[in-house]
Chain A
Amino acid sequence: MSKLHIKDLEVNFHTREGIVRAVDGINLSINPGEIVGLVGESGSGKSVTCNSILQLLPAPPARIESGTIEWSGKDLLLQGGSEMQGIRGKEISMIFQDPMSCLNPYIPILDQVAEPLIIHRLCHPLKAMEDAREMLEKVGVLRIAECPRAYPHEFSGGMRQRAMIAMALITKPSLLLADEPTTALDVTVQAKVLSILKDLCGSLGTSVLFVSHDLGLVAELADRVVVMYRGKVVEQNDTRTLFTHPAHPYVKALIACRPTLDISQDRLPTVEDFIDSKEEAPLNPTTISAPNPLSGQEALLEARDLIVEFKTDEGTVRAVDQVSLSIRRGTTHGLVGESGSGKTTLGRSLLNLIERNSGEIWLHGKRLPASGQNNDLGFRKSMQIIFQDPYASLNPRLTIEETLLEPMAVHRLGGSKTERVDRVVALLKEVGLGAEHLARYPHEFSGGQRQRICVARALTTEPDFIVCDECVSAMDVSVQAQVLNLLKSLQANRGLTYLFISHDLGVVKFMSDEISVMQAGRIVENGSANHIYNEPQTAYTRQLIDSIPAANRTSGFKG
């Protein structure tokens, strides 16, 4: 068993636009048997650090400028190709984020799990297959007994990730590098996969470097936590100390701006509150504490007995199964569920973007026509949607000005062109951008800024009802806090009604007044936000809450 010691590591990326300093002189150690969490947001350099250990960085753009990585008496950065091949998969193994793209689709899973044993000639090929089968059953992939020749695409995401773990640990390595292994998984699946990881590594004595953007998740697992920001290590400490007595302002911010389940503020603290960050234009929406004058008891949107079915290769799937919903004006209704629950389908069918098989929808008391009539401008004006992926949500060929003017032109709002431009500028200011952004194209903005433009676009028709479909799920927690604050302040100022869809329970609870929990197309529980979390009625809701890492459930740390 060896200790890993990274010393003064510097990695630069040589791109067409210039040199990017991804890792700027960091020091990090992992002791035998230890689990170290490496936490940071996008651009922090955590993944680059992890990949440099095994020399897996894409060599032309990336270059390791200086530093050493000590392992077993050698400097890993100086090892040649064949030496590294001997270490990879045998002494140090790695698992990655997306199990679908990281497994070879043309080779059966069993063969892939057995492969490390065969590559490193640790046993006879037939025995390797046997060991692989045992290992897979150990991690819970029980189907392998009946279908030994199954391919990756025949398994679910959680099963594939378990297979990756089996594949990485089958050679009993001393160190496991885990690069965001649960980020792509549902929260209940994530909890199970993490416990398997922890148990297996514990029994084998394998040390782990666990890279993640989720501080709370890492706290559940790690003995020590290292936090990175813009290529540097800003703080490292044992988990309990880091959480209870964070020293660096960025770490304090990261801990504070997560929406935990017991949060009671109206506004999330943001990174700007803690340090002076010059990245994005500072956004200071006023805190909302006054009750919304426009919220009332009458329902703005009502849906009854909605059914949406899809035809797939396996038959007809009911994505939305007899769902009824009522959302009061000026409030936020949260919709929580895992993948496949039907929440996205429900959101889109409420807007008539997806055809429903049966059921009725009323907006302002007026019944929505059956879908297929795209041009019912009256309804379209009042209901809008903000999507998850800010990169794909904007037409790359139009300037911001063109994108924002177009809806006004189509709905004939705002009189002359100058008036419309004024309105657009006002909207941009409202979302925290400015007039100087009008002539730019989407690719010139960051993800958070693009999402704000999408919010502005949704507001151009002065809607009453907006569906937020996982609109902060693709963001770093600090950017997420800003956008959530923005959405809340807009609701207070304009009297908007939201349907807020997400898989993240903390975010949903922060945003919502009422919450519905969805599972397999049905709503299994309904209630006010506090009620759902303090007194969950169904087993599924309880399971959802229990799967959240403890540090994300409550803001106080219980180690």
Chain B
Amino acid sequence: MKPEKSSSLGKDAWLRLRANRMAMVSLFILVAVGLLSLLGPMLSSHAYDEQNLDRIFENPNSTYLFGTDNLGRDLFARTTYGGRISLSVGLLATFVSLIIGVTYGMISGYAGGRVDAWMMRMVDVLYALPFIIFVILLMVMFGRNFLLLFLAIGAVEWLTMARITRAQTLNLKKAEFVEAARALGFSHTRILFRHLLPNLIGPIIIYATLTVPAVMLLEAVLSFLGLGVQAPMSSWGSLIKEGAEKMDAAPWLLLFPGSFFCLTLFSLNFLGDGLRDALDPKSSKD
């Protein structure tokens, strides 16, 4: 049956995503966590770094929603502030890796031949080191710096994005509509941006959604090892580290930041899976 109104692929995908309950729940959770992180530090009556040595290790109560830590700081404020740091690192680093990776992969895949071979060889060489080692190396050499942190992470994640984009580009290049565009005399730029890129957006969105949790995990591990953000700034990673150390005295110090972190990762992954199902190209064929 052909519908009366035209339905673009984007609209079809959105409808399919809406029907996926887990994905919608995840989206809701993410929005909630995002809002809390944004507004939380302002809502709390205490600043995130405000120490109050009279009231250390307090259980959650009416003044301190999540309790306090070993220096009397409000855990609620610190957790939500940590959310700002962790989420912004996640989003910014993913954005950086997206720009670099997609451009690199698209050019490599479209050019093909020797250009592609050399570009990919560079990627393979860089792939040889586990990212953490590379980032630690950079941290050791160049000192600890918030900007450097997320640039380093983003610069390391672009490799996967490049590989995926290149694989998709290679596939698309073979499709007849690309050849038709060439036969019609369209320039390379036009083909890349009007014909290839819009058809790559699906997989790109999916992998971007799945890269954010990977990046956040990387940042958290670095903070856990003590190489990430410095006190008094807190990210979820550093909060978890402090919480793990003081767990015997006050388990909520681990539980609150830990749950926020895990919940966010969980939701991002489920959303990514949901997007993957919704954007499945197989369902658009007759």
Contacts and interface: CB of A to CB of B under 8 A. Distances in A.
A397 B180 contact: no
B3 A374 contact: no
B55 interface: no
A394 B199 CA distance: 12
A395 B182 CA distance: 13
Contact of B6 (A377, A389, A440): A440
B276 interface: no
A387 B6 contact: no
A385 B176 CA distance: 10
A387 B179 contact: yes
A376 B187 CA distance: 10
A391 B9 contact: no
B198 A407 contact: no
B121 interface: no
Nearest to B195: A395
B198 to A, nearest CB: 4
Contacts of A457: 180, 184
- How extensive is the interface on chain B, given as a class? 20 to 34
- How extensive is the interface on chain A, given as a class? 35 or more
Interface in A190-224: none
Nearest to A444: B2
B188 interface: yes
A411 B182 contact: no
A444 B6 contact: yes
B185 A375 contact: yes
Contacts of A441: 6-9
Given A389-B176, A447-B286, A384 B183 contact: yes
B19 to A, nearest CB: 9
B147 interface: no
Interface string B185-223: 111101000110011000000000000000000000000
B183 A443 contact: no
Given A374-B188, A397-B198, A439 B6 contact: yes
Contact of A461 (B176, B184, B190, B286): B184
A376 B180 contact: no
A281 to B, nearest CB: 11
A270 B283 CA distance: 31
Interface in B1-43: 1-3, 6-9
A396 B282 CA distance: 12
A391 B198 CA distance: 17
B241 to A, nearest CB: 46
A392 B176 contact: yes
A135 to B, nearest CB: 37
Q: Decide if the interface of chain B is mainly helix, strand, loop or mixed.
A: helix
Contact of A395 (B8, B187, B199, B283): B199
A16 B280 CA distance: 14
A539 interface: no
Given A381-B185, A399-B6, A443-B9, A387 B199 contact: no
Contact of A393 (B180, B190, B198, B283): B180
A446 interface: yes
A301 to B, nearest CB: 15
B62 interface: no
A490 to B, nearest CB: 18
B185 A410 contact: yes
Contacts of B127: none
Nearest to B174: A392
A454 B6 contact: no
B134 interface: no
Given A374-B185, A377-B185, A447-B286, A385 B180 contact: yes
B234 to A, nearest CB: 43
Contacts of B183: 351, 353, 380, 383-385
Contacts of A406: 184, 186, 194
Interface in A1-45: 16-18
B199 A397 contact: yes
A443 B285 CA distance: 6
B163 to A, nearest CB: 23
A410 B6 contact: no
B199 A396 contact: yes
B128 interface: no
Contacts of A381: 185
Contact of B184 (A387, A407, A447): A407
Contacts of A395: 177, 181, 195, 198-199
8 contacts: A16-B283, A374-B185, A374-B187, A385-B183, A396-B199, A397-B198, A444-B6, A444-B7
Interface of A: 16-18, 348, 351, 353, 374-377, 380-381, 383-385, 387-389, 391-397, 399, 406-407, 410-411, 439-441, 443-447, 454, 457, 460-461
Q: Closest 9 interchain pairs by CB?
A: A380-B185, A393-B176, A387-B176, A397-B198, A440-B6, A443-B284, A392-B176, A392-B175, A395-B177
